[in-house]
Structure 1
Amino acid sequence: MIETAAREQRSAEPVVRPVRPRKLVKVPFVELADGRLQGVVSSGSDLARVYVSSISAATHGFSCSTNNNRPCGGLSGGSPCKHLRALADEAVLQYGLDRVARYLRAEAGDDDDLMSRLDGTREAAPAAGVFSRFLRHLAYLELPGSTAPIAEMHWFPAVSAEVR
């Protein structure tokens, strides 16, 4: 009880470390939010292009479009594209298969192939909010190094000595 009270007085909260290390180049942003597994996936052919990909927890419906809302050409056949597969693979690395499968309301198997357990079809999903959050996270990387607090991030979780 004392531990909980002390934590409530701090402005930093421990962050759960990724289950396994991720390479941020291919999927720089992944989150379980708004009832979807969603994130930003880099294009394999154009460095200036990224895709906003998502899988709905309720229906397993999937969506993928460029950062300027052009549909992904890989979805033309009605099955998930390579961007969605990369997103799912990185989410499993970040959060673990059990947690992602539970969030998406899918059965978790012995292997890490989450996409084989989803039976959704293509459905529209808002991409602007996901891309906006990604850009917001990138803006913090451009700040000069400092130990001074950033007012707008007072709520943001921080890695504490307890977690290390």
Structure 2
Amino acid sequence: MVAVLPPARSRKLAKVPFVELADGRLQGVVSSGSDVERVYVSSVAAGTHAYQCSTNNNRPCGGLRATACKHLHALADEALLQYGVDRVARYLRVDVGDGVATGAELLARLDGQPEPASAAVVFNRFLRHLAYLEVPASTTPLPELHWFPATSAGR
């Protein structure tokens, strides 16, 4: 059985509805600040700290230059809330020492460069997670969720 870790702190899902530490990256989906129909897929690679940000249809983020864009900052902020500083730093393989409290402070410790990457895999994972919100409530097991530990009110 896999242990499910609770979030380090609760977070609001409107700005960053999806964040995960997976596939060797901190990655997620960030809502656009200017267009409600647009989302950005942002990621930071563990070890190399290469970062990318593009729309869900692979158009590059206009704010991504030699430094991280605002979408990467929002992603890092939410990752720290979801997983905690120690876990994110360990996953990305970065020494944070003392005093890292925000995503901006974490990103400042990284030494990566922008590197193009496909947004499709992360965006598809996000859409798959959204699909579970539409599944009607039932006590019948869902085969694709067999790995998810069951909880009961008595525990």
TM-score, length-normalised on structure 1?
Answer: 0.85
Which of these residues, 83, 93, 104, is aligned with residue 71 of structure 2? 83
Match of 1:114 in 2: 106
* SS of residue in 2 equivalent to 1:60: coil
Q: Does 1:36 align with 2:25?
A: yes
Offset, 1:126: 2.5
Q: Which runs of 5+ in 1 are unaligned?
A: 1-7
In the alignment, the residues of structure 2 paired with residue 40 and residue 127 of structure 1 have an alpha-carbon distance, to the nearest angstrom, of: 9
Q: Does 1:152 align with 2:144?
A: yes
Deviates more, 1:151-160 or 1:15-24: 151-160
Q: Does 1:23 align with 2:12?
A: yes
Divergent runs of 4+, >3 A: 157-162
Q: Specify whether residues 133 and 15 from structure 1 end up closer, same or farther in structure 2 by C-alpha distance, changes over 3 A only.
A: same
* Residues 95-151 of structure 1: per-residue CA shift (max 9 Å, x gap): 110110111111123231211211211001231111100000000001112222112
Root-mean-square deviation (Å):
1.7
In the alignment, the residues of structure 1 paired with residue 74 and residue 147 of structure 2 have an alpha-carbon distance, to the nearest angstrom, of: 30
Q: Specify whether residues 158 and 83 from structure 1 end up closer, same or farther in structure 2 by C-alpha distance, changes over 3 A only.
A: farther
In the alignment, the residues of structure 2 paired with residue 148 and residue 17 of structure 1 have an alpha-carbon distance, to the nearest angstrom, of: 25
Select the structure of larger CA radius of gyration.
Answer: 1
Taking every aligned residue pair, what percent have the same amino acid on both sides?
Answer: 69
Q: Which runs of 5+ in 2 are unaligned?
A: none
Q: Does 1:51 align with 2:43?
A: no
* SS of residue in 2 equivalent to 1:74: coil
Instruction: Specify the code of the residue in structure 2 equivalent to 1:146.
Output: S
Match of 1:102 in 2: 90
RCO higher in structure (CA 8 A, sep ≥6): 1
Instruction: Specify the code of the residue in structure 1 equivalent to 2:100.
Output: D
* Residues 70-104 of structure 1: per-residue CA shift (max 9 Å, x gap): 000001x3210000000011001111101101111
Paired residue total = 151
Q: Specify whether residues 78 and 38 from structure 1 end up closer, same or farther in structure 2 by C-alpha distance, changes over 3 A only.
A: same
CA contact (8 A) 1:15 1:158 kept: no
